[in-house]
Chains A and B, each alone.
Chain A
Amino acid sequence: MQFLYPSFLLLLPLGLIPVLIHIFTRLRLQRRGFPSLVLLESVRRERWSWVRLREILLLVLRTLFLLLIPLALSRPRLESRLPFRLGSDRMLLILDHSYSMAYGSRWQLALEAARRIIHSSSRPMLILSSHPDTVFSGRHTLLTLLDTLSASTISPTLQPALTRAAELYRQTPMPVIIITDLQARAVPENIPVPGGQLQIINLGSNRFDNAGITGITYDRRRLRVRIFNYGGTPVIRTVRLKLEGYQEEKVVNISARSAVFAEFSLPPDLRHHYSGIVELSSDSLLVDDRRFFTLETPSRVSVPIFVSSENQGKYLRLALVTDTLQFLPLLLNISELRRTDLTRYQAIIIADASALRPADWERLDFYLNSGGSALLCAPSLTNGNIPLPIRYEGPVSHLGFITPAEVDTTHPVLSGLRTVDLNAVRVYYHSRITGGRTLIRLANQDPLVIELPGKNLIIWTFTPVPEASDLVYRAAFVPLLYQTLKYLTGINRRNEWQTGDTVVLTVDTAEPFRLLMPAGEKTVFSEAGGIKPVVKITDTRLPGIYRLENGQHYEFAVNPLPEEGDLTPAPLEPLIRNRIKIYPPRLYAASELTGPLLYFAGLLLALELLLLGLESYRKTPVRR
């Protein structure tokens, strides 16, 4: 317990006054004769218990009252066990502002703790984990800020704020306190301890129940919603798809710490453009219980396939015509490349890159730089003519065959494909090309599929013919080709972003755009961004559908980071070993006792008056 005005405690001996008066009265009793004690004895016998009780009660009440008044005036506080003293000078508070703090009552507890810390310091400073560069100071400012602050929808880690705190500590040493739920993903491995004076008010717990939507994928008019149950017990949730004029629900049963998929068939009349929400029946953390999405599914995308012989494009064409709703393959001789306006196409396929002349490479490069994309099948190349950041090291033939050893299934091109399906593919010959990002690597470490991210280019180091590989016969061939083309055709139209991201959209015209977003509406301007102008949108703190309008129509969804929904706390042992003091929030739930003490004193006074009044009432004769 601490006292704001401890000098008032010197008045505590006042509480002895009733006791002293009592003792003094007893000692200085007047002794006198009385004619007869007969009546007195009988009255005293009858009233003895009540008189004694009343006497003791009054003595206790008066003593307590006189003790409570100076105690209340000294402004006592049941303070937390934080090492800083009440009224200490400087103090730096870091408030975890991620959306996991909105779980249950965590945010309210965090605000209460923050307010108490701010009240206890004469010069408090505050950093929000979401904006570590901004340091708020001044008690009034901070309290006003806390009044308006709510848990965000973004997912910052603690590292930037701690780094900033370390900088501030170097300038002026002061206690640093973090109010956080110590979520495992947010706590850095080697947490910096500024000056060895780091305290954490831990709002996290191992016992939580939360499920959230972690992703939405689209495939052939089917929407797949991934739901993850982060909690330790199985849960049943209702998943609801909401589109304009359309709604569908499904109930899913999710085991502990596992994921399930809920599939929705999109209605045909909306098949080209879908924009909506998938919602999960609410739990203690609402932010990850809904996810916005926007999908563009053009009716048919014409994809020219440039071949040097008809056989080279046969399997590609057959694969693409299986779903006529999406791609329209056009088989063209590679000599047509020079006469074709490539910019009309979102993507092209060159089935045999070895047939490209230097002028064709230039055209291809121009096309790629203009925003186009291409799938290049390169069984062999000629060094020196390729204007791409790759290196051709010659053809590779095998006596038998070679199979893929590594598959990067995290890449959208390969997502949904099983490694075992690709591992069985036999490759008889291919070219050895280095550079770019390898998506599939053969057993001899040669790349089989390469991406050149800056060029919107995917390179297959083989030709999709049975002589080069039996992939064309494999079940994985069609999905691989489709996903490659879908990736390439949509590569400039990223339609999902995270809250807090700076969204960069390539637009066709350098004009002002009207931006419609959950936070309101505003005008944004495009700026030069390479071949095409770009629009940068920084205010993406709220999840929702964002729409950019100006004749043209661009739409994207902004969602919170799904992983933030995993409330699993970081292990405390390493932190404790690092001499970081951790306090539970409830221990901190302390307050100034002046109010309760004064209330109690008033109660005592009322009780005393009641006792005295009761006595007077008993003495009042009844009028008949």
Chain B
Amino acid sequence: MLVNCYMRSSGIPLLRPELIARLKGIDFKARLVVEGFLSGLHRSPYKGFSVEFAEYRQYMPGDELKRIDWRVYGRTGRFFVREYEEETNLRAYLVLDASASMDYPAAGYTKLDYGRWLAASLALLLNRQKDSTGLVTFSAKIDRYIPPRATGAHLRVLFRELENLKPGGETDISTTLHELAERIRRRGLVILISDLWDDATAVVAALRHFRARKHELLVFHLFHPDEATLGFTNPVLLRDLETGQEITVDPRQIQYQYQNRFNRRCEYFRRACAEARVDYQSLSTATPFEEALFTYLERRRRLH
């Protein structure tokens, strides 16, 4: 299975062997309650017989006698039944923005490459945990929807899809996410990897839609340093990668205001996500991917 992880995209390995090795033994747990078919690492809303104790409940006629805790009866003289929290496998959806804006910069690896690596890494991690992993790519609409599965063959399908992914088209994140929220019925983990270049309010509304459907939501906000700093030194003619619109700017004259506005935008996403209990992570593509990934995973592990 791992052999297929070496598939290359744009001349850059999708997953390096070192990364694969480092991902061994790392758990990726859902923070919230998710639904699954198999027993796994994640908490299930359905309580049953499992290893994780949940609570005591007074004995009711019809309960199996073997579930009565006799030690409690010995101390209290009353019948209590033990209840266990059922652990389940996770249904994770990797939602990757493949709009033209992700095809930046022209030289080196793009935001889409970065997102691709991230998606591949998370897919591998989840698959190892026997979690079902699906893939959704979108631009103005959902381009590709691969339902979640937990098999090794499915992982190869995902990798192939990721490798063959071509950027293009305008972004309509909010519409796409609304549509996706309606499509995913069972609550699970939705991992959105995007540069979020859309109307910020609409994007946040779409994220809330997911939360309303009881999904755990994880947002990776990717940006290139140029987007954050407008770090050009000379006047430049900029062309919108999605719309083709062109404007001439002297970055030195508006850099400060642009940076302020970009930071405010990020801050807005951060706050809105925090309010909606959405895990928001902004990632600069200047940060080495592995460093960014493991830093995030470590942070997440601590949260549990």
Interface, chain A (partner B; CB < 8 A): 25-26, 29-44, 46-47, 51, 54-55, 615, 618-619
Decide if B254 touches A47 in the complex (CB within 8 Å).
Answer: yes
A-B contact count (CB 8 A): 92
Interface-side segment among B20-28, B121-129, B157-165, B230-238: B230-238
18 contacts between A and B (CB under 8 A): A29-B235, A29-B248, A31-B237, A31-B239, A32-B239, A33-B238, A34-B240, A34-B241, A35-B240, A35-B242, A36-B195, A37-B245, A39-B262, A40-B254, A43-B257, A47-B253, A47-B254, A54-B253
Q: How far is the CA of A39 from the CA of B197 in the complex (A)?
A: 10
- Which chain A residues lie closer than 8 Å to B103 at the CB level? 33
- Which chain B residues lie closer than 8 Å to A35 at the CB level? 101-102, 104, 111, 195, 197, 224, 227, 240-242
Instruction: Give, as a whole number of angstroms, the nearest-CB distance from B255 to chain A.
Output: 8
Q: How far is the CA of A615 from the CA of B255 in the complex (A)?
A: 11
Q: How far is the CA of A41 from the CA of B239 in the complex (A)?
A: 12
- Which chain B residues lie closer than 8 Å to A36 at the CB level? 101, 195, 197, 227, 240-242
Please give the number of chain B residues whose Cβ is less than 8 angstroms from any Cβ of chain A in the complex: 37
Decide if A32 touches B253 in the complex (CB within 8 Å).
Answer: no
Instruction: Give, as a whole number of angstroms, the nearest-CB distance from B19 to chain A.
Output: 26
| Complex interface bits, B182-224 against A, C-beta within 8 A gives 1, otherwise 0 | 0000000000000101000000000000000000000000001
Tell me, yes or no, whether B265 is within 8 Å of chain A by CB: yes
Closest A-chain residue to B195, C-beta based?
A35
Q: How far is the CA of A618 from the CA of B257 in the complex (A)?
A: 10
Tell me, yes or no, whether B60 is within 8 Å of chain A by CB: no
- Which chain B residues lie closer than 8 Å to A37 at the CB level? 238, 240, 243, 245, 247
Tell me, yes or no, whether B250 is within 8 Å of chain A by CB: yes
Instruction: Give, as a whole number of angstroms, the nearest-CB distance from B140 to chain A.
Output: 14
Q: How far is the CA of A37 from the CA of B265 in the complex (A)?
A: 14
Closest B-chain residue to A35, C-beta based?
B101
Decide if A40 touches B253 in the complex (CB within 8 Å).
Answer: no
Instruction: Give, as a whole number of angstroms, the nearest-CB distance from B114 to chain A.
Output: 13
Closest A-chain residue to B245, C-beta based?
A37
- Which chain A residues lie closer than 8 Å to B237 at the CB level? 29-32
Interface, chain B (partner A; CB < 8 A): 101-104, 106, 111, 195, 197, 224, 226-227, 230, 232, 234-243, 245-250, 253-254, 256-258, 261-262, 265
With contacts A32-B106, A35-B101, A35-B195 taken as known, whether A40 is within 8 angstroms of B250 at the C-beta atoms is no
- Which chain A residues lie closer than 8 Å to B253 at the CB level? 47, 51, 54-55, 615
Given contacts A30-B237, A33-B238, A46-B257, 6 further A-B contacts (CB under 8 A): A25-B235, A32-B106, A33-B239, A34-B241, A35-B104, A40-B258
- Which chain B residues lie closer than 8 Å to A40 at the CB level? 230, 238, 247, 249, 254, 258
Q: How far is the CA of A46 from the CA of B257 in the complex (A)?
A: 10
- Which chain B residues lie closer than 8 Å to A41 at the CB level? 247
Decide if A51 touches B254 in the complex (CB within 8 Å).
Answer: yes
- Which chain A residues lie closer than 8 Å to B236 at the CB level? 29-32
Q: How far is the CA of A25 from the CA of B250 in the complex (A)?
A: 10
Decide if B106 touches A33 in the complex (CB within 8 Å).
Answer: yes
Q: How far is the CA of A619 from the CA of B252 in the complex (A)?
A: 11
Greatest chain A CB density within 10 A among B232, B243, B253 is at B253
- Which chain B residues lie closer than 8 Å to A619 at the CB level? 256
- Which chain A residues lie closer than 8 Å to B261 at the CB level? 39, 42-43
For B226, give its contact among A29, A34, A51 (CB under 8 Å): A34
Q: How far is the CA of A192 from the CA of B197 in the complex (A)?
A: 93
- Which chain B residues lie closer than 8 Å to A39 at the CB level? 258, 261-262, 265
Q: How far is the CA of A26 from the CA of B237 in the complex (A)?
A: 9
Closest A-chain residue to B235, C-beta based?
A25
Instruction: Give, as a whole number of angstroms, the nearest-CB distance from A18 to chain B.
Output: 14
Decide if B234 touches A30 in the complex (CB within 8 Å).
Answer: yes
